Structure 1
Amino acid sequence: MIEKPSLPVFDADDVVESAVVSRLAGNWSKRATVKKSEPDLDDLFDTSKHDYPEALIPFVDHDVYRALPDTTRAKLRAWGWIAFNKNVMDVEQHVVHPGFALLAQDAFDIGMGDVLAIAVTQAMVDEQYHTLMHLNASALTRRKRGWSLSERRLPLSGTVRRRHATQAKAVDSNDAALNSLAFMTVAEISITSYLNLIEDNELIQPVNRATVALHNRDEYCHASIADEMAAIVFESLDSGDRRVFLDGLADGMDAFSSTDFSTWSAILHQEGVVGADRMLREVETDGSRKQLVQDYGGIQSLCRKLDVEDEIGIVWA
């Protein structure tokens, strides 16, 4: 059963979540669900908290990073949060939205009825709110830290670049559409695992945790939509098109789980970190390093439902 998405669900008694939503929608305080004036996000920013979990920095244990001054490491953590938000926004705009747009246009000729069309269109609206929410979070970090930290200095997310590359290699528009659907399916079903990387602990900036928590709640609903739509489309495909879609799922999972070293390279060079190239080279070739996103249980469940769990070429964890 498809659940219809809605605006972010939040705890009205949680001042941080309320402030995030208030900033997200300027007239939120006029809605019946909000009975009191909301604090400003700026007032809730705690300069003593980390902007990003240091454990997620891929070179956190490298001697070059460990030798950096505390102020530089703090700035790199802030950059990590900016890059995290940019990755989310890039994926929403360049992976998720195009995939949902194909469904909304009934590009796969599945006979989209009103219920499905409304659910998909509402999900597309949600994605714009998510983009704004993460943009607000990055703007707050820049404003309160006093650092420029411009995401314009960072490359497109690795997932987006991989999708663009596969689109360019598609033999025709049909294959391109199936690949786009596959990447969107991976993103929507698995993005909760990515958002969960921002641990809910006392070291992390409360506004950042609240931003992720609000986004995550919507994505659990979106995952059910993406799962259902993928299954409906898959059942209508011939064997050749099914193969294209399954290959797209595998490619999307690999892209989504990989650490984007090009982004970290841009950050480190922006900050003039001496030894950055050596550090990244050594970390990237370290065979013991774990993938960034490791939980693909949702995609595995989808493949099991489609009876193709053993046909996708993935060694499930």
Structure 2
Amino acid sequence: MNIHQILERQNRYIDSWAKTAAVTEHQEILNTLSGMHYDPTYDDFVKEYLPFYTAESWAELTDEQHKQLLSFGWFMYNLKTIIIEQSALTEYCKTVLSGCSSFAFTRYFIHRLSQVQVDETYHTLMSYKGIDLCERLRTHGLSIFPDTDLANYINSCQLLTAADRELAWLALTTVCEATISKYLSVLPGVSNVQPAFRFIADMHRQDEASHSSLFMDLIAVAYTELDEYTREKFTTFLKKSITVLTSVDRKTWSHLYSLVGIPLPKRENPSFLELYNFRMLKKYTGVTNV
């Protein structure tokens, strides 16, 4: 695909944003959520999405322990969303929108990133609402964990030079936006999960297809401006981003399991990495999985 086709595609997204973005349905979304009530008979998450789920370890737990771990799964899903949107993606948008990018992005990309920043702030609001709706979480008073593997990596990026930091932000935001659609496409269709939570995930999903397209186009354009050495560096940042995005966060989950009164399983969920789609990045990373 040439640059003209890329810009035409992004221009179509610019024009359709007012009709398709979740934030433009704000009143309808809030009205829908206000009519939904937390029902403890539903699960809060999908067990197959838990990083330490295995059929064997799950069978040893009580129903109440199942419910609590699924609530923590919903919390961690939203925690990761908030960290990505506010600590990574918004930082990258600010770099470009403040005129500090080293790449010659056209006005089409500037407009789209402005729209995306609005989208992601709205997704953050919905994630906080999703956490607040989960009654099982209230007794624990959980807050945003500052030391997840993803958060630690983002903090380490702040120490890079301005040029490397921009590459790292672009790599991380692209990995997050381009691979999460598979993850989001499953959760809304699981009938035994809280209807409000499925609704929030689906609201998030409806924006991600256009975001994925944008960031894949951004790196396609940026890649043409990089020399061979910097391309190799960018590929390294992409691979690091994949690693931290798919981290099982053993330290954080060990704490959450302790709140349930059980030890963290030693074995990780063998299907956890299958929740993400890395095929789109193969051109730049050379791999389709981690």
TM-score by length of 1: 0.76
2:143 pairs with 1:152 = yes
**1:87-129 Cα deviation digits (max 9, x unpaired):** 1111111111112222223433334443321211111111000
Counterpart of 1:272 in structure 2 is: 261
Secondary structure in 2 matching 1:184: helix
**1:230-288 Cα deviation digits (max 9, x unpaired):** 22222112222222111111111122223222221121123332xx14x2xx214x8x5
Counterpart of 1:299 in structure 2 is: 281
**1:295-316 Cα deviation digits (max 9, x unpaired):** 112223xx2xxxxx5xx35355
User: Are residues 193 and 262 of structure 1, via their aligned partners in 2, closer, same or farther at CA, if it must alter by over 3 Å?
Assistant: farther
Counterpart of 1:224 in structure 2 is: 213
> Which amino acid is the alignment partner of residue 181 of structure 1?
L
Flag structure 1 segments of 5+ consecutive residues without an equivalent: 11-20, 304-308
Counterpart of 1:69 in structure 2 is: 62
**1:191-240 Cα deviation digits (max 9, x unpaired):** 21332352512111111111111111101111111112222222112222
**1:2-37 Cα deviation digits (max 9, x unpaired):** 123457657xxxxxxxxxx89x94xx25xxxx9xx9
> Which amino acid is the alignment partner of residue 299 of structure 1?
L
Structure-2 separation of matches of 1:39 and 1:166: 39
Contact 2:43/2:67, CA 8 A, preserved across alignment: yes
Identity within the alignment, %: 21
State the number of aligned residues.
278
Structure-1 separation of matches of 2:163 and 2:240: 17
- Report the aligned-residue RMSD: 3.0
> Which amino acid is the alignment partner of residue 178 of structure 2?
I
Structure 1 residue 84: deviation in Å?
Answer: 0.9
Counterpart of 2:287 in structure 1 is: 314
Pairing 1:173-184 to 2, within 5 Å after superposition: 173-184=162-173
> Which amino acid is the alignment partner of residue 229 of structure 2?
G
Secondary structure in 2 matching 1:266: helix
Structure-2 separation of matches of 1:109 and 1:61: 46
More helix by share: 2
Contact 1:86/1:157, CA 8 A, preserved across alignment: no
Pairing 1:103-114 to 2, within 5 Å after superposition: 103-114=96-107
2:109 pairs with 1:116 = yes
Counterpart of 1:257 in structure 2 is: 246
**1:145-203 Cα deviation digits (max 9, x unpaired):** 473343316444422322333554x4x32112211111111111112133235251211
Counterpart of 2:267 in structure 1 is: 283
